Amino acid sequence: MGYCSGNIESHKPGNKLRPIISQIPTPTYGIAKQLCTILTPYVPVTYSLHSATDFLDILKTNNAIGTIASLDVESLFTSIPIQRTINYIIGRIYNNTNSAKLPMLESILRSLLHCCPREVFSKFEKPEIYCRYIDDIFIKTTHNEDISLLENYLQDASSLTFTIENSLEGSMPFLDILVTQQQEKFDTDTYVNPTNTGQCMNVFVP
């Protein structure tokens, strides 16, 4: 059985609880790890970032002329349409002429994809501290209308809800980086959330 815990979002109004589920103790954890290895070669990487270093490299090779903004997915992991996502994965692997066919029956892969997100039970036992994934998209465009068009397109294509954060006086945070437009180049600095007190707490996890 997995463990459900939560972190208080002290940087957001209302200090809501961010639910976190650890599936490590569950039977499906091993299946999920194997699926990750199997599916990784089929994941499009053209517009994906592996680290903040990749993002910095992109900024160095792009001029700063235009408008910058960030699209953020609301409640990403609890909003993903599971069945639609599974159908997309199956289509990309078995109906894509540009990739090698997987030596596994489609019905077996579909069953494995179905059980990992749906057949997991979790319980809340004690507070834990975990890292979270970043689900933002950084955008640079010459027209503000392009950002709204992209937001509408992504929402229609994915059934997810997006919020837009526009730059303030040419600056905005993305990942842990503060991006600032300076004429024809981007300046970057480390971003620290205004609510960060600089304090930390040691935690023992048995």
Q: Give me the DSSP letters along 81-117.
A: -HHHHHHHHHHHHHS-TTSPPPSS-HHHHHHHHHHHH
Split into its structural domains, the chain has a count of: 1
Residue 81 half-sphere exposure toward CB, CA atoms < 13 A? 12
Q: Is residue 33 part of a domain?
A: yes
Q: Is residue 203 part of a domain?
A: no
| Neighbour-count burial for 127-156, b at 16+ CB within 10 Å, e otherwise | eeeeeeeeebbbbbeeeeeebeebbeebee
Residue pair 166/172 in contact by the 8 Å Cβ criterion: yes
Which pLDDT value is given to residue 193? 78
Q: Is residue 23 part of a domain?
A: yes
- Residue 78 lies in domain: 2-190
**Residues 8-49: tens digit of each pLDDT:** 766 666 767 666 667 777 778 888 889 999 998 888 877 778
Residue pair 69/151 in contact by the 8 Å Cβ criterion: no
Please identify every stretch of the chain with a pLDDT value under 50, giving residue numbers as ranges. Answer: 122-136
The whole-angstrom separation of Cα 205 and Cα 180 is 39
Q: Is residue 197 part of a domain?
A: no
Q: What is the mean pLDDT of the chain?
A: 75
* Residue 34 Cα distances to 26, 29, 39, 109, 181, angstroms: 14, 9, 9, 11, 43
Q: Is residue 152 part of a domain?
A: yes
Q: Is residue 150 part of a domain?
A: yes
Which pLDDT value is given to residue 5? 67
Question: Which of the 8 DSSP states describes residue 42?
Answer: G
Phi-psi region of 3 (alpha: psi -120 to 50; beta: other; left: phi over 0): beta
Q: Is residue 201 part of a domain?
A: no
Which pLDDT value is given to residue 126? 41
Q: Is residue 99 part of a domain?
A: yes
* Dihedral sign of CA atoms 154, 145, 169, 11 in order: negative
Record the pTM: 0.60
Indicate the helix (H) or strand (E) that contains 30.
helix 28-39
Which pLDDT value is given to residue 154? 66
